[in-house]
Amino acid sequence: MTEQIFRETTAEPRTQSLPLAHVSLELGHLYMEDFEEGPDRLREHFARVKPWADAARQAAVVMSGNGRARVSTCFLVDDYFTQFSSPRELVPLLLGEAKAAGLEIDYLARESACAQADGVALAASVESRLVESPPEGSDGSRPGVREVGWLSNGQRTPSSSTAEAMGRVVPWTPPSEAGARRHSIFVDVELWNEDPRRTWSCPFLAAVWQLARLGLLRHRGSPVLEPRALRPDQTLPETWSALPPLLRLNDAAAPFAAYRTTSVLPSRFLPIEHAVRVILSQVEADAAALRQVAERAAAEGTQVPEEIADRAAYVFYPGP
């Protein structure tokens, strides 16, 4: 007799949809050493960002398909690797220098929120969705990404230690990029280490940040890292942990999540963001969230790349 399984429909978590802008425009991702240099460093940063931010807005209008574009801006502060000053001191300085350059920051995020926010271990959740593509000819001798904490975009150089004793000499072979065009650009990304506890790498947290901005993160069907505003009677806290993981600074802002992202960053972030693309290319995002984004984009006449990594665009300005 065939066993029949009955399941309450309410037992299946429904994936909630998110409002979406056309572009999430990142106006900066600076570390505490940048803030330690004082207002002049922030002033220089925003002066360099302004023309590229204007160009990104114009490009968003073209890509929207209807001559208008919803663009929200965001800024990421590193409170994960180091902590400096306090939100009460730093946030007004940040907003003031942005405004002086003709820019407005709609959302402010803490980098630690990309590891954990509102009781949800976001980084661990994304790690569980990594789908490592075994390279052609792989014999499975190398441990998987969840065991070693490294993710590559192709075939690593085989270890010479795998050759049997007294066996034939195995010739050296170079690493190779999957889907390379003529020549390989091989990347091996460290996702985390255990020194002494699990510490997520900057590229991995940046990949979580991109997924959040693209509206593709869910926990049991519910959105995560949702923006919150301070109550009218609240002031900015003294500690970063007391600040909401994602703070809405502009009540009239377009939605935080968007079909595409654009980040204007110093050139030192280029290798980090290359690593981010490697990670995003091997993340199996929530299928329902992907479908919702695709359906909404089609209804609006907006083109959205199929590959998640291709939804992220960058401008790297020279300098520190």
pLDDT of residue 274: 96
pLDDT of residue 269: 95
Q: Rounded distance, CA 150 to CA 157, Å?
A: 14
pLDDT of residue 141: 57
pLDDT of residue 66: 78
Q: Rounded distance, CA 212 to CA 247, Å?
A: 14
Length of the chain: 320
Q: What is the CA 309 to chain-centroid distance, rounded? A: 10
Q: Which of 81, 181, 200, 184 is CA-nearest to residue 130? A: 200
**Burial of 14: CB neighbours in 10 Å, binned 0-12, 13-18, 19+:** exposed
Q: Rounded distance, CA 128 to CA 282, Å?
A: 11
* Contact (Cβ atoms closer than 8 angstroms) between residue 209 and residue 107: no
pLDDT of residue 277: 96
Q: Rounded distance, CA 207 to CA 81, Å?
A: 16
Which residues are CB-neighbours of 118 under 8 A, at least 6 positions away? 224, 225, 245
What pLDDT tens digit does each residue of the chain (320 aa) get?
444 444 444 455 688 999 999 999 999 988 888 888 889 999 999 999 999 999 999 999 998 877 889 999 999 999 999 888 899 999 999 999 999 999 999 999 999 999 999 899 999 999 999 997 666 655 555 677 888 899 988 888 876 555 555 566 678 888 888 888 889 889 999 999 997 889 999 999 999 999 999 999 999 999 999 999 988 888 999 999 999 999 999 999 999 999 999 999 999 999 999 999 999 999 999 999 999 999 999 999 999 999 999 999 999 999 76
